[in-house]
Amino acid sequence: MMTSSTGLRWEKIVLKLRNPFRLSYGVSETRQAFWLRLPGDEGWGEGTIPPYYGVADAAMEAVWRAAAESGRELPDNPAEIEAWVGTPGPAPARCALDLALYDRIGRQHGLPLYKLLGLPKPAPMPTSFTIAIDTPAAMARMAAENRHMPIIKVKLGSDDDESRLKAIRAARPDARLRVDANAGWSLEEAIHQVQALESYDLEMIEQPLPKEQIEAMGEVQKYTRLPLVADESVQTLQDVERLAAAGVRGINLKLMKVGGLTPGLRMLKRARELGLQVMLGCMVETSLGTTAMAHLAGLADWLDLDAPLLVSNDPFDGVTYSPTLDLSIPERPGIGVQLRNE
């Protein structure tokens, strides 16, 4: 099917959060996403990035405007997507194009995304549920109220982190706990915290240091038996190589920060070759982006794909969750999402 990029459309969606979301970077009650639509609604993509990444809307829209004005024929083969998208512009803008093109080709062939990519069908697999930074009592209350959720990701990186974790562990002695500092610790703090927090029976500690401190993160890894998992530090294939060389034991891969499925799959496969453990994550985004990532779940050790649970006005139906947060993907062609009012 020959279709040009003329007529490419996008719109901003303000996502309302069910609860204020506080990280080491700050607090927010809304996030914004962009919904990208190919001509004729043949494929959909999403471009979403938190404000602390410093990506301007204008920079993202410039990428899509250039694609729309080029009038280029859209690719009909997944192998052509990367060259068509190119490398200029912010990663989430490229991600939106990448996802929309994969969605289009999957729909054309009547194949769900994982089949189009030649990947194993993901079996239902539990995702973590995120508790943002708050008082120890409030975080413990949130953990207790969600007793049916077996895996909790605890946001830290503020003052009194150990008191927060102690309160959550007391409220949920049964839970599998993961910690995410969101780059909120100094090197000295990180070395102290990774040792102090070991007694709380954690599965991992995510991004203890600022994103550029890859080698220092490897030093911190020497002080704990728990895997350190890099998140903000993982944006390119070269980052994966550096993290493995530094001795960090895992990565959290997010489509929005790496530029989509094509580079994301390349990074995932290289991480496996280097012996790294892999978490598949998401931004605070719609079910469109999260469902696209969920098609890769058969290749992951851990899932952190709870964004649709954090948003009260998600416009899409896609990935679904069991009462214990086992995640399942739709079998519809392409990414497999549809508008909720359809």
129, 41: one domain? no
CATH number at residue 25: 3.30.390.10
pLDDT in tens, 20-72: 777 666 777 889 999 999 999 999 999 998 888 889 999 999 999 999 999 89
**pLDDT of residue 1 exceeding 50:** no
pLDDT tens digits along 63-106: 999 999 998 999 999 999 999 999 899 999 999 999 999 999 99
Handedness of CA 149, 150, 151, 156 (dihedral sign): positive
What total number of domains does the chain contain? 2
> Are 176 and 103 in the same domain?
no
Give the confidence band of 4 by pLDDT, cuts at 50, 70, 90: low
Other CB atoms within a 10 A radius of the CB of residue 271 amount to 22
Q: What is the tens place of the pLDDT at every residue in 159-171?
A: 889 999 999 999 9
Is the same domain home to 232 and 288?
yes
From CA 218, how far away is CA 231, in angstroms rounded? 14
**What is the extent of the structural domain holding 169?**
125-339
In order, the DSSP letters of 203-243 are EEEE--S-TT-HHHHHHHHTT-SSPEEESTT-SSHHHHHHH
Whether residue 63 is found in the same domain as residue 152 = no
The mean pLDDT of 292-311, rounded to a whole number, is 96
**How would residue 151 be classed by pLDDT, with cut points 50, 70 and 90?**
very high
Give the C-alpha separation, 134 to 142, whole Å: 10
Comparing CA positions, the residue from 283, 251, 286 lying closest to residue 91 is 283
Segment 278-284 mean pLDDT = 96
The model carries a pTM of: 0.94
> Any residues with CB less than 8 A from the CB of 1 and at least 6 apart, and which?
42, 76, 108
Nearest by Cα to 184 from 203, 160, 168: 160
**Same domain flag for 95 and 170:** no
Same domain, 167 and 98: no
3 within a domain of the structure (yes/no) = no
Query: Is 50 exceeded by the pLDDT of residue 274?
Result: yes
Res 51: pLDDT? 85
**4 located within any domain:** no
CATH of the domain at 167: 3.20.20.120
The radius of gyration of the chain's CA atoms, rounded to the nearest angstrom, is 20
Q: Which residue has the tokens 């997944």?
A: 78
